[in-house]
Amino acid sequence: MGFDKPSLKGRALRLLAQREHSRAELQRKLATHEETPGELARALDELQAKGFIDEQRVIDSVVHRRAARLGASRVRQELQAKGLPAEAVAQAVGALRGSELERAREVWRKKFGHLPPPADAAQRARQMRFLASRGFATAVIRQLVQGAAQELPD
């Protein structure tokens, strides 16, 4: 191998230096660079054994970066897309559900807090669609927009 072409392990480390990646993500991103069958799996096994690939760190990273702006269902989708274990994803999402109302209230406040409370069904629907697109639960959205939104201070 020449200096102009990084190894699979080198490519994986470069990706991991940018942000946490799950093994499935690295597999997907590096599969086209594999020259011999099993080479990528061996490189990823070695990186995982050394602690460079850690599924729990990936989950913690996504939750930390995204939970303030997104609802639990949207965070769950992102974690599932990364090919993470279903049980770990369910546990992380379950922990987020307890703070769903507070997080939705903060997102709502940033977007609509400077406006008067929704006066008609069209304005309420717009605000509800906005929060739904962020992955917040329907019951939380309804409670926030129809009830608590009118009580929030400016």
Domain CATH code at residue 110? 1.10.10
Q: Do residues 48 and 60 share a domain?
A: no
Domain count within the chain = 3
Does residue 18 lie within any of the structural domains? Answer: yes
Q: For Cα atoms 14, 92, 74, give the angle at the middle one, nearest 5 degrees.
A: 80
Based on the domain organization, do 18 and 30 belong to the same domain?
yes
Instruction: State which residues form the domain around 136.
Output: 100-151
Query: In terms of pTM, does the model score above 0.75?
Result: yes
In a domain, 1, yes or no: no
Residue in 82, 118, 86 with CA at minimum distance from that of residue 131: 118
Cα Rg of the chain, angstroms: 21
| Low-confidence residues of the chain: pLDDT under 70 | 1-4, 148-154
Q: Within this chain, do residues 13 and 48 fall inside the same structural domain, yes or no?
A: yes
User: What's residue 114's pLDDT?
Assistant: 83
